[in-house]
Amino acid sequence: MLGTWLDKLKGKDKFETMENYSILSILIGSAILSIGLALTIFTPKGLPAILAMLGSLIAFISTVILILIWLAREILGG
C-alpha cells in the first residue's frame, strides 16, 4: 500500500519527482517539529527538544534542497 502511494509522487520528469519528495520531507519535518513543540508542554528538555530541533533541521534542509532544485531547473531548462 505504501509503495503505491509513493508511486504517486513520481512526476513528469526528474525535477518534478525531486520536488514532490522534497515537499513531502518538508511536511514530515514540520510534523516532527509540531510534535516536539507540543511535547515541550510537559517537559522543556530531553526528547521533546530533540524532536523540535530535528524537525526544524529536516524542514530547513528540505526547503534549501527545493530551492536548489528550482534553480537547477531554471539553469538546465528542465
Q: In whole angstroms, give the CA distance from residue 3 to residue 54.
A: 26
Residue 71's pLDDT band (cuts 50, 70, 90) = very high
Q: Please give the model's pTM, rounded to 2 decimal places.
A: 0.86
Q: In whole angstroms, give the CA distance from residue 48 to residue 52.
A: 6
pLDDT of residue 28: 96
pLDDT tens-digit series, residues 10-41? 778 888 889 999 999 999 999 999 999 999 99
Question: What proportion of the chain, given as a percentage, has pLDDT over 90?
Answer: 68
Sign of the C-alpha dihedral, residues 66, 72, 77, 78? negative
